[in-house]
């Protein structure tokens, strides 16, 4: 019988070659220019216009990782990655991803692979303890957690659940967040059909101003609208600001709103007890999301979403067509995660997170997160005592925001020169009509010497 399949023997040999390639990449990643500088279309030009008619040897595929792919890669895994937020990774995560691909199961229902559901539930319960979240969010309580692709998906899901709780036309419902909230809130609200999103003023540290929030809510109520959703940011994207979560929770309860915490990046730091003061009691929180795919050594994608009560989530999203009915689901004894988010199909993302937690241990994860935060605070001190620079926001976690005292052109000039050097990468943003440089420290292999090198460049280009 004709077969074009790669045999298990060939897979073994090719797989070893690929693992060798990835290990070499880890060893050498520091030597590549961090940001790809290819012109648009350059990579595509290297590909033939049509798919190959004849099979190609795996060696050719591997060679093209170097020849075609690498020139177009921006090295998020470089230890001199200080741009955006990190999307870090680690060997156990990569191996977990590979094992999940090897099993290639589809965990839409408990019964379609019980291990996918049960490991996911157990690992998210572990995280409830590791991050000191309310015990009632565990699967044994009224709440529960699920892994999704992105924080944007989780926020969108929460917005849909909040919408469904009200018997009011969607064009009468109002969503609130601060002016510093991530764009995924506005996007999620748009996709969920909301017409009113209020971006509320912030205080001097760029955290949501609750007086302004209360005023905005009152104004909307007075004009006959219904407040339904408020987002607290635990670590804004611009400057890492933390909204007053408990105070916002009280307002949410007073007005019957769904309270969602977007902890996409800084949530990872909650595994360290000394940072939990930012999180407060989380008493009046309905949902919470964070991204292990940012800062917990678990490669993209891996987002966690908890709800304090899973009933409204399931009421909003469960649809049971006859072809998905099965005895386990009918028994009510199992979790079917397809009812916890928009997609039906779901991959075994929990495997890599499980392996990361086991491979590092909580102690190892805390150690590295603390190292990142320590390096960020140290860089902050250097900037603070140098009169060429001005700190734009406090450094609560591992994001340093600063500008040049000579203004926007000088500030942008520092970032451009660093990025053009290829030796490191940072991003800029704007706040209060002013450009600032964001230095986000959280790459898996970033050491003090990489931050020292960055500091040298900041000074040289100032």
Report the interface residues with ligand PLP, using CB under 6 A: 85, 150-152, 182, 184, 233, 235-237, 262, 264-265, 291, 303
- The CB density around residue 311, as the number of other CB atoms within 10 Å, is 11
- The closest of 173, 359, 377 to 269, measured between CA atoms, is 377
Measured from the CB atom, is 162 or 225 closer to ligand PLP? 162
Q: How far apart are CA 68 and CA 43, in angstroms?
A: 6
Antiparallel, parallel or unpaired: β 173-178 and 144-148: unpaired
In degrees and rounded to multiples of 5, residue 342 shows phi and psi of -70, -50
Measured from the CB atom, is 262 or 336 closer to ligand PLP? 262
Query: Smallest gap, in angstroms, from Cβ of residue 26 to ligand PLP?
Result: 24
Query: Smallest gap, in angstroms, from Cβ of residue 127 to ligand PLP?
Result: 16
Cβ atoms of residues 295 and 373 within 8 Å: no
Q: Is 362 exposed, middle or buried (0-12, 13-18, 19+ CB in 10 A)?
A: middle
Query: Smallest gap, in angstroms, from Cβ of residue 131 to ligand PLP?
Result: 16
Measured from the CB atom, is 110 or 280 closer to ligand PLP? 280
Query: Smallest gap, in angstroms, from Cβ of residue 304 to ligand PLP?
Result: 10
Measured from the CB atom, is 82 or 265 closer to ligand PLP? 265
Q: How far apart are CA 299 and CA 347, in angstroms?
A: 14
Measured from the CB atom, is 334 or 353 closer to ligand PLP? 353
Q: How far apart are CA 133 and CA 387, in angstroms?
A: 41
Query: Smallest gap, in angstroms, from Cβ of residue 177 to ligand PLP?
Result: 10
Q: What is the DSSP letter of 208?
A: B
- DSSP one-letter string for 261-294: EE-TTGGGGGGSGGGGGGTTT-TT-SEEEE-HHH
The pair of three-digit structure tokens given for residue 82, joined into one six-digit string: 């200080």
Cβ atoms of residues 133 and 269 within 8 Å: no
Query: Smallest gap, in angstroms, from Cβ of residue 208 to ligand PLP?
Result: 13
Measured from the CB atom, is 265 or 355 closer to ligand PLP? 265
The pair of three-digit structure tokens given for residue 228, joined into one six-digit string: 């339904």
Buried b (16+ CB within 10 A) or exposed e, 192-207: bebebbbbbebeeebb
Please identify which residue in the block is written with the tokens 């969108």. 156
Query: Smallest gap, in angstroms, from Cβ of residue 265 to ligand PLP?
Result: 5
Query: Smallest gap, in angstroms, from Cβ of residue 188 to ligand PLP?
Result: 9
- The CB density around residue 449, as the number of other CB atoms within 10 Å, is 10
- The closest of 388, 258, 276 to 316, measured between CA atoms, is 258
Measured from the CB atom, is 83 or 108 closer to ligand PLP? 83
Residues 6+ apart with CB under 8 A from 138: 125, 128, 144
Measured from the CB atom, is 197 or 225 closer to ligand PLP? 197
Q: What is the DSSP letter of 269?
A: G
Q: How far apart are CA 181 and CA 321, in angstroms?
A: 37
Measured from the CB atom, is 75 or 294 closer to ligand PLP? 294
Q: How far apart are CA 416 and CA 435, in angstroms?
A: 12
Please identify which residue in the block is written with the tokens 């949902």. 287
Query: Smallest gap, in angstroms, from Cβ of residue 206 to ligand PLP?
Result: 12
Measured from the CB atom, is 109 or 266 closer to ligand PLP? 266
Measured from the CB atom, is 117 or 180 closer to ligand PLP? 180
Query: Smallest gap, in angstroms, from Cβ of residue 443 to ligand PLP?
Result: 15
Cα-based distances in Å from 370 to 84, 212, 296, 304: 19, 34, 12, 21
Q: How far apart are CA 99 and CA 348, in angstroms?
A: 9
Query: Smallest gap, in angstroms, from Cβ of residue 186 to ligand PLP?
Result: 11
């Amino acid at each position: 019988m004709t077969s074009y399949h790669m045999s298990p023997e060939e897979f073994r040999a090719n797989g070893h070659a690929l693992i060798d390639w990835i290990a070499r990449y880890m060893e050498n990643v520091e030597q590549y220019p961090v940001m790809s500088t290819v012109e648009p279309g350059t990579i595509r030009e290297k590909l033939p216009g049509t798919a190959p008619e004849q099979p190609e040897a795996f060696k050719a595929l591997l060679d093209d990782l170097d020849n075609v792919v690498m020139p177009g890669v921006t090295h998020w895994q470089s230890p001199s990655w200080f741009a955006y937020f990190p999307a870090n990774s680690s060997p156990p995560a990569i191996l977990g991803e590979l094992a999940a691909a090897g099993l290639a199961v589809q965990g839409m229902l408990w019964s379609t692979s019980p291990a996918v559901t049960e490991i996911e539930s157990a690992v998210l319960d572990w995280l409830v303890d590791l991050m000191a979240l309310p015990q009632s969010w565990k699967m044994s309580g009224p709440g529960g957690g699920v892994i999704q692709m992105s924080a944007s998906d989780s926020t969108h899901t929460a917005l849909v659940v909040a919408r469904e709780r009200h018997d009011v036309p969607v064009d009468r419902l109002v969503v609130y967040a601060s002016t510093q909230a991530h764009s995924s809130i506005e996007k999620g609200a748009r996709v969920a059909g909301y017409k009113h999103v209020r971006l509320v003023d912030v205080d001097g540290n760029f955290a949501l101003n609750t007086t302004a929030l209360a005023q905005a809510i009152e104004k909307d109520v007075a004009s006959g609208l219904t407040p339904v959703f408020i987002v607290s940011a635990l670590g804004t994207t611009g400057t890492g600001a933390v909204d007053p979560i408990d105070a916002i929770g009280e307002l949410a309860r007073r007005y019957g709103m769904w309270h969602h915490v977007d902890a996409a990046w800084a949530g990872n730091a909650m595994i360290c007890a000394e940072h939990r003061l930012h999180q407060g009691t989380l008493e009046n929180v309905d949902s919470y999301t964070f991204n292990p795919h940012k800062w917990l050594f678990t490669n993209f994608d891996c987002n966690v979403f908890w709800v304090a009560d899973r009933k409204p989530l399931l009421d909003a999203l469960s649809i049971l067509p006859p072809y998905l009915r099965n005895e386990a689901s009918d028994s009510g004894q199992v979790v079917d995660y397809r009812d916890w988010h928009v997609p039906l199909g779901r991959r075994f993302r929990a495997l890599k997170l499980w392996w990361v937690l086991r491979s590092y241990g909580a102690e190892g994860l805390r150690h590295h997160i603390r190292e990142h935060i320590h390096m960020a605070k140290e860089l902050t001190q250097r900037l603070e005592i140098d009169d060429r620079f001005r700190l734009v926001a406090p450094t609560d976690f591992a994001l340093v925001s600063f500008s040049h005292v000579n203004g926007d052109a000088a500030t942008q000039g520092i970032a451009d020169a660093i990025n053009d050097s290829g030796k490191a990468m940072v991003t800029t943003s704007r706040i209060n009509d002013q450009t600032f440089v964001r230095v986000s420290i959280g790459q898996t292999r970033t050491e003090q010497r990489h931050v020292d090198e960055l500091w040298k460049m900041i000074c040289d280009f100032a």
